[in-house]
Amino acid sequence: MMRFLILLILPILACNGLSTPPPSTSETASPTSTGIALTQPSPPTEPTPNASTFPNPDAYEWQLVAERLDRPVDLQPDPFGRLWVVEKLGHIRLIQNRQLDLDSFFLNIDDRVNDESNEMGLLGLALHPHFAQNGYFYVNYTGARGDTFISRFTAGENSADPHSEVILLRVKQLYPNHNGGAMNFGPDGYLYLGLGDGGSGGDPEGNGQSLDTLLGKILRIDVDSAEPYAIPADNPFGDEIWAYGLRNPWRMSFDSVTGDLYIGDVGQGEWEEVDIIPAGSRGGENFGWDHREGMHDFEGGGPADMIDPIAEYDHGEGGCSVTGGYVYRGAMPEWNGIYLYGDYCTGQVWGVIRSGEAWQNQLLFDTDVTITSFGQDKNGEVYILSDSGAVYVLASK
């Protein structure tokens, strides 16, 4: 997650970071028994043309949607217009029509979530593309011994049974930081997972560049063809790995129109970066860590085909940890196609826009928010989440 935790420099143990997926904790629930009986929304309209310039940010604000959450770290929409908010301690709550349900949890798994350090906990959420039919959703959390767990649960209409858990993957973690946590379904229907380099500082085992570990990677798995999952036949290395050379990918998202994958990768000491995997990629991108931090040498050297970030910023003005965001696809056409991301410590929000083959990066907002995550609803509106427990949406004044 964020690097505002003081890193513990501990002895390094040799390990490839991967352990065999354990058996599921319950039988797979029947897709026909979810109890979901809500009305499906109308299909989206044709996409609006992308903005060519940045709007004047003074005409916009981040409006409060909900508060009193307990350390929210992710927000995802379901097909019925509800917003699912992940609380780091092990809970999922629902927001519907800007009303937060504080009386009950949609899911409570705090009995198995290990949140002993600031970068551990329930960290990510993804709903299956056919959630309305099967009720499946997936979470990323740190559990026993601090290891990363990727699990599936089955939802009912107003809650999910914590005993419906099916563990897909368990990845060994040696340190309490750099757990990543992002998870997203791509336009291809596969589940993408962002894992950090395993923690400590400076990637002492070289996990970011090693293809013998799942740490420091973007993974791509097929959750529909086999239990617990299958490896897509076109993955570049014949295993789960899709891209590598990442330090701690904290939030990634697909552009709902183009299919490009944007990744916020937290830096070591000087530089924060935003990377992109373009739609149609065959995978195998190397983003350079720990040879480089952003576009700058860290340990130096490395192969010639390392991919530069599309945006970066340094810590000169107090920034400390990038929080990846979303490409705006909502009702304000002047924002359409602009990728919004921020910094945890300063609350600053930048926009990135493509101009031909180049990218423009501009500071847009200076908020008072400790930005733990961004979110996007089914209509393409963009939200920010605060460590203080609030959720805000971008809107015109």
pLDDT top residue among 17 and 357: 357
75-89, 128-142, 195-209: range with lowest mean pLDDT = 195-209
User: Using an 8 Å Cβ cutoff, are 152 and 11 in contact?
Assistant: no
- CB 282: neighbour CB atoms within 10 A? 9
**Intra-chain end-to-end CA distance of the chain, in Å:** 32
Q: pTM for the full model?
A: 0.89
Which pair of tokens denotes residue 79?
Answer: 């097909």
Mean pLDDT of 357-386: 97
Integer CA distances (angstroms), 276 to 136, 217, 339, 373, 389, in order: 28, 14, 11, 18, 29
* Tokens 């499906």 belong to residue: 40
46-50, 275-279, 314-318: range with lowest mean pLDDT = 46-50
- Using DSSP, state whether 358 is helix, strand or coil: strand
| pLDDT value of residue 35 | 44
Residue 14 Cα to chain centre, angstroms:
27
Q: Is 45 a residue whose pLDDT tops 80?
A: no
- CB 164: neighbour CB atoms within 10 A? 23
| pLDDT value of residue 47 | 64
Contacts for 27 with CB less than 8 Å, ≥ 6 apart: none
The β-bridge partners of 312 are 273
Mean pLDDT of 19-47: 44
User: Using an 8 Å Cβ cutoff, are 221 and 231 in contact?
Assistant: yes
> Residue 354 is which amino acid?
R
- Spell out a b/e string for 227-252, using b for 16 or more CB atoms within 10 Å of the CB, else e: ebbebbeebbeebbbbbbbbbbbbbb
Question: Based on the number of CB atoms within 10 Å of its own CB, is 157 exposed (0-12), middle (13-18) or buried (19 or more)?
Answer: exposed
Give the percent of the chain with pLDDT over 70.
88
The overall average pLDDT reported for the chain is 90
- Using DSSP, state whether 31 is helix, strand or coil: helix
Residue 348 Cα to chain centre, angstroms:
19
Bridging pattern class, strands 91-96 and 99-100: antiparallel
| pLDDT value of residue 37 | 46
- CB 318: neighbour CB atoms within 10 A? 10
> Residue 219 is which amino acid?
L
Q: Is 102 a residue whose pLDDT tops 60?
A: yes
| pLDDT value of residue 167 | 98
Mean pLDDT of 343-370: 95
21-25, 71-75, 227-231, 281-285: range with lowest mean pLDDT = 21-25
Confidence grade of residue 16 (pLDDT, cut at 50, 70, 90) = very low
Mean pLDDT of 212-237: 98
Confidence grade of residue 355 (pLDDT, cut at 50, 70, 90) = confident
Quote the CA–CA distance of 23 and 268 in Å, as a whole number. 36
Q: Is 15 a residue whose pLDDT tops 70?
A: no
Quote the CA–CA distance of 38 and 221 in Å, as a whole number. 29
- CB 112: neighbour CB atoms within 10 A? 16
| pLDDT value of residue 389 | 97
Containing 245, the helix (H) or strand (E) segment is none
pLDDT top residue among 20 and 157: 157
Mean pLDDT of 145-171: 96
| pLDDT value of residue 42 | 55
* 72-90: pLDDT as tens digits: 999 999 999 999 999 999 9
| pLDDT value of residue 25 | 36
Q: DSSP assignment of 173-235, as one string?
A: -SSSS-----EEE-TTS-EEEEE---SSSS-TT-TTT-TTSSTTEEEEEBSSSSSS-B--TT-
